[in-house]
Structure 1
Amino acid sequence: MSDPVILIPARMAASRLPGKPLADIAGEPMITHVWRRAVEAGIGPVAVATDAPEIAQAVEAAGGVAVMTRADHASGSDRIFEALEALDPQGSHDVVVNVQGDFPTIDPRAIAAAILPLADPAVAIATLACPIRDEDEANDPNIVKVVGSPVSAGRLRALYFTRARAPWGEGPLYHHIGLYAFRRRALERFIGLAPSALEMREKLEQLRALEDGMRIDVTVVDDAPFGVDTPESLARARAVLGEPS
């Protein structure tokens, strides 16, 4: 793990909150909040991968780097791979961190912590989770849970991801945070795979990697950032970041 790069996929076509990357939060577009937090993580260069010129212009106006990609990508993983190949055709970056463009409250320390499991050469992909402390959250199918086997303090080996409450019995439950750190070769392998049966059933892309035998380890952090995908979550982000809703 010698040279990570952070890529932030962003597109305008969001069904529940169209144009959300440019939604104003405390005087600047949401995408630039995410970009700043990724820069503050301090683990490598940061770029936004987008198919929208207006998103690229907003990022560049803030001093960031944007990479234009095709508009027909099925997922953010496909988009960041295209951007990675354009930014780094020589393959200098061996780790790529995918930070969702709708996480304006993500803690930069969590972004940095995401790459830690990749110090283990057996790990192909690393991600984040936090403890679930609320019964409603535990039973909410919109909250993805990770079922994992402890590897060390604050680290799990992922065995499954699900929208159901799991695992059964006494013990902690973990809320999966959709931020991924891929080894470059793992990302290339992943996007070349067809959607898997469990992925399509649970509507969880990461199950494609597990079904293919790729190892995913999880760093446990204290809290989960919330994604902005509705007017209500946008109002919450504005309140958290200092702007009345």
Structure 2
Amino acid sequence: MTASDTDKPFPLPLTVLCIALMLAPAIALAATWGSLPDTVPAHWGAEGIDRWGSKFEMIVVPALGVLLGAALLFGARRAGDARVPFLEGSIGERAVMTAACILQSLVVLGGTIGWVMGAQSAGAPVESLTGSLNLQVLGVPAIFLVAGVLLAIRTINAPEDEPVLGEQYHAQRIAGAIMVVAGVIMGVLSALVVSAQMVQVVQAAIAAVACAILFVLLKRWL
């Protein structure tokens, strides 16, 4: 890895975009806070709403989104343009981590807006709440998100002066970002698209694909 790989500045427009998307869920919730009832639906399934909770529970989702997004943006800014061998080509560390930051912010934004819509129409039939966030099915995606961020953070002090070990740390950063992307995809499909009967199958399939990619990426050091 050359000096130009690490010294190239992170584009300002991308920084602004990532920060704006990170803050968007909190802004959306704040803008609609006054119209929300004190008690909101906290979980719903095929039979309708089966748990209620305080609207203050809704603050957790944007807050976690900001923390995860900030960690990934920090990693992307620090990554430079380093590339890691992957299959027959290479994969850019900065590009993967930036995409992970944007994707996780978008899924948090979609989930927050969905939950707000569900809270505002809590008395409507369950069919009208299909876009709302279902916290229980987001458990596995959340694990992937957090694990991915932690894996990326672990490499903050990568020894850049040792090429082999430095390459390993760059690969681990990309692996962390891939886990975040897998968590985002699981979250979108599980909370907003697939039926309750298919959640476990879909999550297992995505987890298997993500783990296979991680194995290919990190097998040199396993």
For normalisation by structure 1, the TM-score amounts to 0.26
| Bigger proportion of residues as helix | 2
| Bigger proportion of residues as strand | 1
Larger-gyration structure (1/2): 2
For normalisation by structure 2, the TM-score amounts to 0.27
